[in-house]
Amino acid sequence: MKIAIVGAGIVGVTTAYELAADGHAVTVFDRHNAAATQDSFATGGLLAPAAAIPWALPGLLAPARWLGRKAPLRLGHQLSLSDLSWLRQWRRAAARAAHSPQPAGLALLQLARYSQARLLELTQQLDLPFEHSSSTLLLLRSAQDAEAAAPLLKALRETGHTALEVDADTARRIEPGLSPTLALAGALHLPDGLAGNCRQFALLLRQAAQRQGADFQWSAAVERVCTTPTGLQIQGEASPRPFDAVVLCAGAQAAALLHPLGLRLPLAALHGSTLSAPMREALHAPQSAVVDIASGSTIARLGQRVRIAGGAELGRAHEAHPQTVHALYRVLGECFPGGVTHASGVQVWRGARAMLPDGAPAIGPSGTPGVWLNLGHGASGWALACGSARLLADQLAQRTPALPSESWAPQRWQ
């Protein structure tokens, strides 16, 4: 088949690789001039377990105390009606998850494990030398943090993850760079956790996709998706380009392309921020990935840098919220003082996480003939990209996917 992919972030690149590897003629369109230049550029890095990523799922690590003036979720001054509608649906989803007898997000955890296995398979098969590290430690600063983490612990164990409850002394042996003055009630140790450099992986896999025949067209803004016949209208071109299928992997930008088709997914852009700083002293820096439940932040070691990610800003804005950036600096100093240098080379980045209210992505046929979706992964785009791409490729080829598709079928919102 002749397939167009809109978006060359991590989800678009993994989708391009899987479809090209299946023998399709793939063309990727992106309005920027390289892969992973926008919302996949400087992600937090945490790959597994995906549910440990703050904001991955309602009802797990996004408790009600995260809403408020000083909470990680900040509401902008320019909230749209769709933003407010999304917020109501998200809170309802969180309440349902919190009161459900079953652990929340089992389907997403299964997708995350499948995705991690596919990523490791591709890494070995294609020899992709991207920066990565193993093990994840979730800090429990108080009994309240332990209570907030209980649904996550239950869900992880229900899906076969190794999750060890350790005391503060053991936590400091696992991460010796943790500040000795940091109050700790304990921690959860996830030895199978994984963190990695998203953009580096995307660039390497883009090269592998090109070797499979995929064509990447840069500075190509898609104005609309056509359905009669199926194709794309590229900005500045006189007529649409015909394709057998179009796959939208454009994250938050997909809403403008979906609406004319009558597809109104409740998709919102939650903006998060990261700080990336050169490592000063390896012994005082994190060895792998650390999640601070109290602040909703992740801290990961990526090569010779340390990256801390956090915050969630709903509403239109063009720069990182000063309070969010200040909070990231504060948490990094509280957890790993002396681990990074602030004198020079600190990168501040802000990106959008296109998220659906229930935390699960939309993967599969859109309901409009010829139009397919692989978007809405929220904070878990890096963690779910490889598995989501493989599932979509199997559906498009009319093969039985490795996992049932009901939990992330786009039709659940129609």
What's the topology of domain 2-40+200-265+358-413? Answer: FAD/NAD(P)-binding domain (3.50.50)
Predicted confidence at residue 323, as pLDDT, reads 81
Instruction: Give pLDDT, residue 63.
Output: 45
* pTM greater than the 0.75 cutoff: yes
Output the pLDDT for position 286. Answer: 96
Give the pLDDT score at 393: 98
> What pLDDT does residue 317 have?
62
As a three-state string, the secondary structure of the chain is CEEEEECCCHHHHHHHHHHHHCCCEEEEECCCCCCCCCCCCCCCCEEECHHHCCCCCCCCCCCHHHECCCCCEEECCCCCHHHHHHHHHHHHHHHHHHHCCCCCCHHHHHHHHHHHHHHHHHHHHHCCCCCEEEEEEEEECCHHHHHHHHHHHHHHHHCCCCCEEECHHHHHHHCCCCCCCCCCCEEEEEEEEEEECHHHHHHHHHHHHHHCCCEEECCCCEEEEEECCEEEEECCCCCCEECCEEEECCHHHHHHHHHHHCCCCCCEEEEEEEEEEEECCHHHCCCCEEEECCCCEEEEEECCEEEEEEEEEECCCCCCCHHHHHHHHHHHHHHCCCCECCCCCCEEEEEEEEECCCCCCEEEECCCCCEEEEECEHHHHHHHHHHHHHHHHHHHCCCCCCCCCHHHCHHHHC
Q: Domains of the chain: which residue ranges?
A: 2-40+200-265+358-413, 46-106+131-196+267-355
pLDDT score of 59: 63
Assign domain 46-106+131-196+267-355 to a CATH class.
alpha beta
Task: Provide block-wise average pLDDT over 10 residues at a time, the chain (414 residues).
Answer: 97 98 98 93 88 71 47 70 87 76 72 93 97 94 88 84 94 96 96 94 98 98 95 96 97 89 89 92 93 91 94 72 86 93 86 89 95 94 96 96 90 83
pLDDT in the model for residue 219: 96
Give pLDDT, residue 102. Answer: 61
